Amino acid sequence: MKKSLQIYLILLIIPISLFSQKKEFTLNLEGKKYEKIEVVVATDSMRNIPLDVVAVDSSTWRFSIPNEIYEKAFYIQIKPVVEKKMSGRLYSMMFAYVDGCDTLKTASSLFSLDNQMLKARFGRTIQCDNCIPVDVGGKEVMMSYTSDIFLIDNLELDSDLYVKMKYPYIDRLIEGEKYEDYILRYSNLVEKYRNSEYLLKNLWSKMRGYQSKNDIEQVYNSFSDSRKNSYYGLIIKDYISKRFDTGYLFENIELPTIDPSKTEKIILDKTKPALLILSASWCGPCHKLVPVLKEIYDDLKENMNMVYLSIDEPATRSAWWKFVEKENILWRSLILGDDKEFKTKYDISPIPDALLVLPNGNARRVDLQSEDERNMLYELRNN
> What's the whole-number mean pLDDT along residues 324-338?
94
- Cα 104 to chain centroid, rounded: 24
> 267 with 336, same domain?
yes
pLDDT digits (tens, 9 = 90+) for 167-176: 988 888 888 9
Q: Which of 95, 207, 68 is nearest to 159 (CA)?
A: 95
Which of residues 245, 266, 298 is at a domain's end? 245
pLDDT at 5: 44
| pLDDT greater than 80 at residue 108 | no
Query: 240 and 374 in one domain?
Result: no
Angle made by CA atoms 89, 91, 94, in degrees to the nearest 5: 145
Average pLDDT, the chain: 86
Decide the pairing of beta strands 89-99 and 332-335: unpaired
Question: Would you state the pLDDT for residue 248?
Answer: 78
239 near 232, Cβ under 8 Å? no
Domain that holds residue 286: 250-382
Residues 154 and 28 in one domain: yes
What per-residue confidence (pLDDT) applies to 383?
63
Instruction: Output 160 or 1, whichever has higher pLDDT.
Output: 160
Burial (CB count within 10 angstroms: exposed 0-12, middle 13-18, buried 19+), residue 376:
middle
Q: Which of 126-135, 188-197, 208-217, 240-249 has the highest mean pLDDT?
A: 188-197
Q: What is the mean pLDDT of residues 323-339?
A: 94
83 pLDDT more than 50:
yes
| pLDDT for res 8 | 39
The letter for the amino acid at 338 is D
| Out of 91-95, 124-128, 138-142, least confident range | 138-142
pLDDT above 60: residue 25: yes
CB under 8 Å to 98, separation ≥6 — which residues? 104, 151
Split at pLDDT 50, 70, 90, the class of 44 is confident
**H-assigned helices in the chain:** 2-19, 67-70, 160-166, 179-192, 197-205, 213-220, 225-228, 231-240, 284-288, 290-300, 317-326, 340-345, 371-379
Predicted confidence at residue 109, as pLDDT, reads: 65
The C-alpha atoms of residue 332 and residue 323 are separated, in whole angstroms, by: 13
Pairwise CA distance, residues 332 & 354, whole Å: 14
pLDDT of 87: 56
222 and 302: one domain? no
- Taking residues 309-314, report their average pLDDT: 93
For the cut 80, the answer to whether the pLDDT of residue 16 exceeds it is no
Strand pairing report for 37-43 and 53-55: unpaired
User: Of 374, 362, 359, 344, which is closest to residue 268 (Cα–Cα)?
Assistant: 359
Q: Is residue 10 part of a domain?
A: no
Confidence of residue 183 (pLDDT cuts 50, 70, 90): very high
Q: Are residues 159 and 190 in the same domain?
A: no
Q: Give the end of a domain, one of 215, 230, 245.
A: 245
Q: How many domains does the chain have?
A: 3
Quick one: pLDDT at residue 249? 86
Q: What is the pTM of this model?
A: 0.68
Look at residue 297 and give its three-state secondary structure: helix
Measured in degrees and rounded to the nearest 5, phi and psi for residue 241 equal -65, -50
Q: Any idea which of 34-38, 220-224, 349-353 has the lowest mean pLDDT?
A: 349-353
Q: Which of 350, 382, 353 has the alpha carbon at shortest distance from 368?
A: 353
Percent of the chain with pLDDT over 90: 49
Mean pLDDT value of segment 313-318? 92
Residue 85 has pLDDT above 60, yes or no: no
Single-letter amino acid, residue 160:
D
Residue 11 lies in a domain: no
Q: Tell me: do 281 and 347 sit in the same domain.
A: yes
pLDDT of residue 12 exceeding 70, the answer is no
CA distances from 251 to 243, 247, 335 (A): 17, 13, 16
DSSP secondary structure letters along 323-365: HHHHTT--SEEEE--S-HHHHHHTT--SSSEEEEE-TTSEEEE
Would 284 be classed as within a structural domain? yes
Once rounded to an integer, what is the mean pLDDT over residues 128-154?
81
Domain boundary among 211, 230, 245: 245
Q: How would you classify the pairing of strands 73-80 and 37-43?
A: antiparallel
The answer to whether residue 131 is domain-embedded is: yes
pLDDT per residue as tens digits for the range 185-235: 999 999 999 999 999 999 998 887 787 889 999 999 999 999 999 999 999
Residues of the chain with pLDDT > 70, as a percent, come to 89
Task: Return the SS3 of 69.
Answer: helix
Q: Note whether 182 and 171 are within 8 A (CB).
A: no
Residue 300 and residue 226 share a domain: no
What is the C-alpha separation between 77 and 47, in angstroms, rounded?
11
